A and B are shown apart, each in its own frame.
Chain A
Amino acid sequence: MTEQREREFAAILKSASAGRRNFLRLGAAGTGALLLPATAARAADKLVSKARIVIAGAGAAGLAAASRLAEQLDGASITLVDGRKEHFYQPGYTLIGAGLKPASYVVSTTAEYVPKGVDWIEERVAEFDPEGNKVVTESGKAIPYDFLLVATGLKLDYAAIPGMEVGEIGKNGLGSVYHSAAAAEATWRSMSDFADKGGIGLFLRPGTEMKCAGAPLKYTFITDDYLRRRGNRGKAELVYNANNKVLFSVPIVSEKVRMLFDDRKVKVNYERILESIDLGKRIAVFKSPIGPVEHPYDFINVIPPMRAPDAVRNSPLPWQEGGWAKDGWIEVDKHSLRHKRFDNVFAVGDVAGVPKGKTAASVKWQVPVAVDHLLARIAGKESTSAYNGYTSCPLITRLGQAMLVEFDYKDNLVPSFPGIIAPLEELWITWVMKTMALKPTYLSMLRGRA
């Protein structure tokens, strides 16, 4: 009897100390924790190798991988190949579109994150030749490799929407937060103008895989909030067009968003995909099960179809069959990020053909796994690390509040702060994370430090 009581007491103590740890995490971290890593490999000694590693793409995934490889390898040749000189902190685009940050908030340079000892070839990869173990740049330069990490990101396919002209973003009620920092700022002007006048606001997402599937929802909520703050919500009709039968790929989140849209009086159409647009007449045409549907608008946030870049799509790297083959996503194992047919090739970030999230948080958790498998291969071992699909999305539901949605491949919610930050609760603390802690965490990730 006493023994049992002791055991119970020990269990209570244990759970109390776990709770305290969580609290400490919160206190100490403020917030930036959702992108934070497992740091198992940090203390490991450097691996001596003459391996030639090519990283195609110097965005979030490419730079984070380069930093980690440079830190853990001695004597290897690591080459980043990317023609772009600017670096864009893409999670910040929504904040620019919301009028909270200037375009400069997201812009920095690739050069400042290229780690010491890593070569950067300032050209785009034009051709992938995994059979010949080389890539060819735009100028025709061939770069042979022992290992290839593809992190090219994706292509925003605006050209696939007849009538769409990116030069018109910011004019005549046309918005598109995704296009660029400047376009996000122009979108803010359009949306703010709409919030002053009211009318019909159209929101949508593409029928393809996309980066940050929460962003189209966030922008709907933000627009709703601006209309309310300016006393014009009664003059506006907001319509969200979902590409399929749900609002979010994770069922429990989809239901929560449905309830919130209901609460905010946002009308929802399911199975509508933007097919074409008439910018002059302000009419969008959607593909639907009942045929094309015309929808007039006073403001629209266009989100284009997203596909792998042409160089990847035209290579042997993409899935050869199934839903991802058409758009060229790379055929990798979803747990190791290793290519299914070319075992010295890995893909991380947006271009990887894996089921969930194309987000910075996915990158954060994918890169260490892919790097670990690559290093194990060099060392002649097998790695046991696996990516479980974890990604996170601070889903803004009004200015000043967001829901911290974290999930994995199995559609499980995987909250980082269970019992403190409820995943489906609209909270200020989550907003604080999004606006304050996310960018520093992201930049630390690029430098391989977080």
Chain B
Amino acid sequence: MKEFDPLIFLVVFQEMLGPLLWLLILLAVGGTLAFLRLLIKEKGIVARRLVRAELAGLGGGVLALILMAKVSSSGFTDAGGPADWFLIALVFGMGLIGSAIVVYSFLGWRTPVKR
């Protein structure tokens, strides 16, 4: 492992996920943009909605872990060391944050708060 090229990771992920990769990237970028626009429009965070989105995010994190276990043919007792816990936390965290942002934006654009 001498040199690293981020493009190679893109290629590998593309090979791994196929068209799903672009869908995920689209969802991530789209969700983030919608979230940012909502923030600007509402000039802040709506705490009540955020809590609901975070609750949904917990489910998203679990879902990400289930997906990961399924794709990698593993069970739930396979973690063997710190690197594994790191990966589990990473997958859970990405699922959580990703779905929280998407859910927050979705709720926000569906029923905007009137001020």
**Which A residues contact B (CB, under 8 angstroms)?**
25-30, 32-34, 36-40, 42, 95, 100-101, 399-401, 416-417, 420-422, 425-429, 431-432, 435-437, 439-441, 443-444, 449-450
Contacts and interface: CB of A to CB of B under 8 A. Distances in A.
A436 B77 CA distance: 18
Contact of A422 (B6, B15, B75, B81): B81
B87 A36 contact: no
Interface string B15-33: 1100000000000000000
A416 B11 contact: no
Most chain A CB neighbours (cut-off 10 Å) among B13, B78, B90 = B78
Nearest to A450: B8
A428 B16 contact: no
25 contacts: A26-B83, A26-B86, A30-B13, A39-B8, A42-B5, A100-B73, A399-B73, A400-B75, A401-B78, A420-B83, A421-B83, A422-B83, A425-B81, A426-B80, A427-B83, A428-B84, A432-B72, A437-B16, A439-B15, A439-B16, A440-B13, A440-B15, A441-B12, A443-B15, A449-B11
A436 B8 contact: no
Given A401-B78, A436-B16, A436-B72, A429 B5 contact: no
A101 B3 CA distance: 32
Contact of B12 (A401, A425, A427, A444): A444
Given A400-B73, A400-B75, A429-B87, 17 more contacts: A26-B86, A26-B87, A29-B9, A29-B12, A33-B1, A34-B1, A38-B3, A401-B80, A420-B83, A420-B86, A422-B83, A428-B78, A432-B72, A436-B72, A440-B14, A444-B15, A450-B8
Contact of A36 (B4, B78, B81, B83): B4
Interface in B48-98: 68, 71-75, 77-81, 83-84, 86-87, 90
Contacts of A30: 13
A51 B71 CA distance: 45
Most chain A CB neighbours (cut-off 10 Å) among B12, B72, B87 = B12
B70 to A, nearest CB: 11
A416 B83 contact: no
B4 A435 contact: no
B3 A28 contact: no
A368 B72 CA distance: 30
Contact of A427 (B5, B68, B81, B90): B81
B16 A36 contact: no
Nearest to B17: A440
A308 B90 CA distance: 45
Contacts of A34: 1
A406 B87 CA distance: 21
B43 interface: no
A60 to B, nearest CB: 15
Given A400-B77, A428-B84, A435-B72, A36 B8 contact: yes
Contacts of A427: 80-81, 83-84
Contact of A431 (B5, B8, B12, B78): B78
B115 interface: no
A428 B2 contact: no
A149 to B, nearest CB: 23
A34 B8 CA distance: 12
A11 B73 CA distance: 42
Contacts of B86: 26, 420
B4 to A, nearest CB: 6
B73 A40 contact: no
B12 A437 contact: yes
- Top 9 nearest A-B pairs (CB, nearest first) are A400-B78, A440-B15, A440-B16, A428-B78, A428-B84, A416-B1, A32-B12, A400-B74, A435-B72
A25 B4 contact: yes
Contacts of A40: 3
A420 B68 CA distance: 20
A425 B73 contact: no
B12 A28 contact: no
A361 to B, nearest CB: 11
Contacts of A101: 73
A449 B83 contact: no
A449 B8 contact: yes
B72 A440 contact: no
A428 B14 CA distance: 23
A37 B8 CA distance: 9
A365 to B, nearest CB: 10
A436 B71 contact: yes
Most chain A CB neighbours (cut-off 10 Å) among B1, B6, B15, B83 = B1
Given A29-B9, A435-B72, A443-B15, A38 B2 contact: yes
A314 to B, nearest CB: 38
Contacts of A401: 78, 80
B72 A36 contact: no
A237 to B, nearest CB: 26
B74 A432 contact: yes
A100 B11 CA distance: 25
B9 A28 contact: yes
